[in-house]
């Protein structure tokens, strides 16, 4: 399975739409709010990881590094 930042964006907007459902009330609303908090937390980590990969690529390009052999695997994106 390959997910992209575009997929993440779609998930975030879908969550926003669920929160905007005016028929959602009481316990169901509280459950959706909890789910939204979890999604937001995970999304923040995914965005932080993507930012780290982007920064690593920028540095690799700046110093003309061969990203296949000179960067740690976790930074390959």
Task: Write the CB contacts of 58 (distance below 8 Å, at least 6 apart in sequence).
Answer: none
Domain ranges in the chain are 5-75
Mean pLDDT score of the chain: 87
List pLDDT tens digits, range 29-63: 999 999 999 999 999 999 999 898 889 888 888 88
Q: What pLDDT, on the 0 to 100 scale, is given for residue 75?
A: 55
pTM of the model: 0.76
Tokens representing 27 are: 């316990």
Region of 65 on the Ramachandran plot (φ > 0 left; ψ -120 to 50 alpha; else beta): beta
């Amino acid at each position: 399975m390959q997910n992209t930042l575009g997929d993440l964006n779609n998930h975030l907007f879908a969550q926003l739409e669920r929160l905007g459902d005016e028929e959602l009330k009481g316990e169901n609303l509280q459950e959706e709010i909890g789910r939204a908090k979890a999604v937001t937390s995970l999304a923040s980590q995914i965005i932080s990881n993507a930012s780290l990969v982007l920064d690593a690529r920028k540095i690799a390009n700046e110093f003309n590094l061969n990203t296949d052999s000179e960067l740690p695997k976790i930074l390959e994106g």
